[in-house]
Structure formats: structure tokens, C-alpha cells
């Protein structure tokens, strides 16, 4: 790799206004300028992700660290571009996965963040949480599991019988089976009674709703770096409410940046973050089990307990969090 010493050129000569030009300049031109000893990160991101992640301040800070972000031209063969040290991506589609897999095969010296086949596991909520379920993590700091769940692929009329047979307890959270990052994939519903289950739209995953004080913890993981933030979530459901309410209540995306609970006046038993050693062990096991370096977890604490946690969702390369942007640079440096 090229970054084995301090960046020997004066990257401070470039200001933030040059960042767009620097992102688009070809690596060949950079070589002509003798900008060596640089880690070149080729990126293939959606326009939305570029806007939220690859901001001018980040690019400027990256240059000071000897890291150069270069846009991958999706209209040209990937093997004709570069050379790259790392390929950072968040695109979907079978064609793109095939391109990346072929590139990994022919360029084993390049680190791909992250392998497309590993990311694909997170696009299906049936397989998404299986790694956590198989782990059965429990130690002196707490226990981590997943809510009991049931996959329904078709025929909404069969859902009540399937739920009864599986022994799931109402209310149930219904989530789309496909988690592809679209707005629809983040929608969820809360079903209060057996009859209303027929109103749901397969394919979907049904999870037992676990009371958690209306707060969830988003755990951002970048390599070995971890950041935890609080977000407001669905409120608890009492037995009285369950007996009085019926129907399906639909919600848009529940946990988002606008719903931050970090500065809210919360019950300390609800607000207390999961123990750091527990999260570090969980992150380590998931990095190994999932084969991913950039992801986040949605975790809840069962209300009334201090150390019983559930992972309810896993997302790849999420968010606008500053920690995430900066920590990716640290992960990049660790890889070279």
C-alpha cells in the first residue's frame, strides 16, 4: 500500500472549494503530479449518500491524513480505473454485485468495503438477525438476543393461524421482508389483535413487540470503533391498552436523527446505555459473523430489566453521523 509514511506533499494547498475537482480527478493525473504515498479510496455511492457522507470538510480532513476519495465512473469498466487501495460502495442491484465480485477476484490486493455477498444478508430480515440469534450472547454484563419472529411470504389470510401455531404474543411489529434502504423498507406496523393480522401485506417479518421504555440505542460500528446514540422509539404497550385497542397502526420510519433522545429528560433506567464491554463483544462477534466493517445495530433494553437486550435491526453503512464519517477514515488507515 502507498501510505506507509507521512503524506509528503502539501495537501493544505487545497481548500474546500477544490474538493469536488479533487474527487473527480483521475488517479493517472495524480500520478503525473507525483502525489504518491496516498491511500486512494474509490467510491461508488448514491447521490444521496455522497451528499450526506462525502462533504467538503471530510475530504479536506482526509487529504490531511493522506487519504484521497476518487469517484468511480459507473459507465466505465471498474478494472480500467484506479489503481485503488480501497473501494467504498453502497449501490444495489445484481449487476453491480457481479461487477464487484469479479473485481475482488481479479484485484485481491484491493480491500472492498464491504463484500457484496455479506451486505446482501442484511437486505433480508429473515437472515439479517440470524447471526445474533445463533450467537446467544450472554455474560456478566448482560444478555443479547432477538425478538421471536415469524416470516410470512404470501397469503395474508393465513397469518392469524401461522401466528397462533408459532405461539407469538400480541402485539406484533410487522416489517417488510426486504430491507433495501428504501423508504418503504423502513415502514412498520403494530398489530394489536389476531383479526387485524389479515390486513398486513406480505412478504413481511412479524416480531413480538418488546416494551423498552420508548427508547432504542443505535450502535454505529466502523471497524473496531463504536458509537452509541439514543433515539425515541414506539411507546410501551400496557395490558390495558392491548385489551382496549384493535387494528393495525402504521408508522413511518421510527428511529431517525430528528428523534434524538440524547438530551431528553428520561428515566435513568431507560436512558442508561448498554454496557461498553457487552457492545464491544457483540460488535466483534458480528464483524466476524457478518463479514462486515461498516454497519449499525438498533438495540432495545427490555423494560423493567437492566441487562436484557434485543437487536431488532441491522443496517449497512448508514447515517449522517459525524462519528461515522470520521471513523471511516480511521478504518481506512487501519487497513493499509
For residue range 129-157, list pLDDT tens digits in order. Answer: 999 999 889 888 999 999 999 999 999 99
Q: What angle, rounded to 10 degrees, do the helices at 56-64 and 322-335 form?
A: 30
Q: Domain range holding 178?
A: 121-316
Instruction: Judge whether 298 is annotated as a binding position.
Output: yes
Backbone angles phi, psi at 44, to 5 degrees: -130, 95
Instruction: Judge whether 319 is annotated as a binding position.
Output: yes
Q: Please, what is the average pLDDT of the chain?
A: 84
Query: Do 43 and 70 contact (CB within 8 A), yes or no?
Result: yes
Distance of CA 329 to the CA centre of its chain: 17
Does residue 331 lie within any of the structural domains? no
Place of cell 416480531: 207
Instruction: Judge whether 209 is annotated as a binding position.
Output: yes
User: What total of structural domains would you count in the chain?
Assistant: 2
Instruction: Judge whether 90 is annotated as a binding position.
Output: yes
- The enclosing domain of 243 has a CATH number of 3.30.470.20
Per-residue pLDDT tens over the stretch 243-261: 888 899 988 666 554 467 7
Instruction: Judge whether 12 is annotated as a binding position.
Output: no
Instruction: Judge whether 155 is annotated as a binding position.
Output: no
Per-residue pLDDT tens over the stretch 204-225: 999 999 999 999 999 999 988 8
Residues 156 and 75 grouped into a single domain: no
Instruction: Judge whether 213 is annotated as a binding position.
Output: yes
Measured CA to CA, the distance from residue 219 to residue 230 in angstroms comes to 9
With a cut of 50, say whether residue 1 has pLDDT above it: no
- The enclosing domain of 97 has a CATH number of 3.40.50.11370
More confident residue, 37 or 198: 198
Instruction: Judge whether 48 is annotated as a binding position.
Output: no
Instruction: Give a three-class secondary structure readout of the chain.
Output: CCCCCCCCCCHHHCCHHHHHHHHHCCHHHHHHCCCCCCEEEEEEECHHHHHHHCCHHHHHHHHHCCEEEEECCCCCCHHHCCCCCEEEEECCCHHHHHHHHHHHHHCCCCEEECCHHHHHHHHEHHHHCHHHHHHCEEECCEEEECCCEEEECCCHHHHHHHHHHHCCCCCEEEEECECCCCCHHHCEEEECCCHHHHHCCCCEEEEECCCCCCEEEEEEEECCEEEEEEEECCCCCCHHHHHHCCCEEEECCCCCHHHECCCCCCCHHHHCCCCHHHHHHHHHHHHHHHCCCEEEEEEEECCCCCCEEEEEEEEECCCCCHHHHHHHHHHHHHHC
Does residue 322 lie within any of the structural domains? no
Nearest to 271 by CA among 225, 212, 221: 212
With a cut of 70, say whether residue 56 has pLDDT above it: yes
Instruction: Judge whether 222 is annotated as a binding position.
Output: no
Instruction: Judge whether 233 is annotated as a binding position.
Output: yes
Query: Do 291 and 127 contact (CB within 8 A), yes or no?
Result: no
Q: Identify the pLDDT of residue 148.
A: 96
Does residue 333 lie within any of the structural domains? no
Instruction: Judge whether 296 is annotated as a binding position.
Output: no
Instruction: Judge whether 84 is annotated as a binding position.
Output: no
Instruction: Judge whether 232 is annotated as a binding position.
Output: no
Does residue 23 lie within any of the structural domains? no
Measured CA to CA, the distance from residue 213 to residue 210 in angstroms comes to 9
Residues 149 and 234 grouped into a single domain: yes
Does residue 20 lie within any of the structural domains? no
Per-residue pLDDT tens over the stretch 74-100: 999 999 998 999 999 998 888 999 999
Amino acid at each position: 500500500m502507498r501510505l506507509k509514511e507521512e503524506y509528503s506533499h502539501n495537501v493544505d494547498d487545497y481548500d474546500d472549494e477544490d474538493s469536488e475537482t479533487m474527487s473527480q480527478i483521475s488517479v493517472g493525473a495524480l500520478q503525473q503530479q507525483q502525489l504518491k504515498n496516498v491511500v486512494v479510496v474509490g467510491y461508488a455511492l448514491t447521490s444521496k449518500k455522497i451528499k450526506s457522507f462525502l462533504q467538503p470538510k471530510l475530504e479536506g480532513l482526509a487529504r490531511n491524513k493522506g487519504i484521497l476519495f476518487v469517484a468511480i465512473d459507473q459507465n466505465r469498466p471498474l478494472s480500467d480505473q484506479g489503481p485503488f487501495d480501497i473501494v467504498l460502495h453502497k449501490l444495489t442491484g445484481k449487476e453491480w454485485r457481479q461487477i464487484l465480485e469479479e473485481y475482488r477476484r481479479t484485484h485481491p490486493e484491493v480491500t472492498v468495503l464491504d463484500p457484496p455477498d455479506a451486505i446482501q444478508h442484511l437486505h433480508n430480515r429473515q437472515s439479517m438477525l440470524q447471526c445474533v440469534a445463533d450467537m446467544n450472547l450472554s455474560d456478566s454484563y448482560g444478555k443479547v438476543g432477538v425478538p421471536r419472529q415469524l416470516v410470512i411470504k404470501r397469503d395474508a389470510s393465513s397469518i392469524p393461524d401461522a401466528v397462533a401455531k408459532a405461539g407469538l404474543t400480541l402485539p406484533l411489529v410487522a416489517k417488510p421482508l426486504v430491507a433495501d434502504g428504501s423508504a418503504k423498507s423502513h415502514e412498520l406496523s403494530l398489530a394489536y389483535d389476531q383479526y387485524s393480522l389479515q390486513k398486513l401485506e406480505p412478504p413481511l417479518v412479524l416480531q413480538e413487540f418488546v416494551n423498552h421504555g420508548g427508547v432504542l440505542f443505535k450502535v454505529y460500528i466502523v471497524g473496531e470503533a463504536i458509537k452509541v446514540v439514543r433515539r425515541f422509539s414506539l411507546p410501551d404497550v400496557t395490558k390495558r391498552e392491548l385489551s382496549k385497542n384493535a387494528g393495525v397502526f402504521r408508522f413511518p420510519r421510527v428511529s431517525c436523527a430528528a428523534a434524538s433522545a440524547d438530551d431528553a429528560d428520561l428515566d435513568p433506567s431507560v436512558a442508561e446505555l448498554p454496557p461498553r464491554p457487552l457492545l464491544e463483544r457483540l460488535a466483534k462477534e458480528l464483524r466476524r459473523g457478518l463479514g462486515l466493517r461498516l454497519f449499525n445495530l438498533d438495540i432495545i433494553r427490555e423494560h423493567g430489566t437492566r441487562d436484557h437486550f434485543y437487536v431488532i435491526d441491522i443496517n449497512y453503512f448508514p447515517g449522517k453521523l459525524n462519528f461515522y464519517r470520521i471513523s471511516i477514515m480511521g478504518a481506512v488507515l487501519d487497513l493499509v
